[in-house]
Amino acid sequence: MHELIRLAVVAAGVASASVAWSQELSLGQREYESNCAVCHGKSGKGDGPVAQVIIGTVPDLTALTTNNKGVFPVERMYEVIDGRAEIVAHGLRDMPVWGYEYSSEAARQMAATPDGVGDTQAFVRGRILALIEYISTLQAK
């Protein structure tokens, strides 16, 4: 029961922060616009303002489904965004590792709960899954 209360407090904290940011954007869209659009561009085509100074090309996130035989690559997206587990077969981690950032944010959120504890992994998973859900909406039709 206490775990449910902690999760509700965390969700309320995230929700209230979300409302303060914008009442019209989803959590995933806010995550994308705050952390991803600078490189990947608002539309996801890899044309963000920082893309010009990155060595190599920034992936076109609108082509993920097309490039994966018509299936949106949820698991691969999770691994890339989380980045906390190095997967040798997937190559180098050229992108910032948001899993660490989300873990730090979760720790700050948990500290704000009445008993100072909570499920940081659930918080991180929620943020990553919200971001993945938003990126899935960018896919070329």
d(CA 66, CA 2): 44
Question: How do residues 25-62 score in pLDDT, each as one tens digit?
Answer: 899 999 999 999 999 999 999 999 998 888 888 899 99
What is the CA 61 to chain-centroid distance, rounded?
13
**What integer pLDDT is reported at residue 85 of this predicted model?**
66
Spatial neighbors of 8 by CB under 8 A, at least 6 apart, are none
**What integer pLDDT is reported at residue 23 of this predicted model?**
56
Q: What is the pTM of this model?
A: 0.72
Question: How do residues 83-99 score in pLDDT, each as one tens digit?
Answer: 876 666 556 666 767 77
70 Rama sector, left if φ>0, alpha if ψ -120 to 50, beta otherwise:
left
What is the CA 48 to chain-centroid distance, rounded?
17
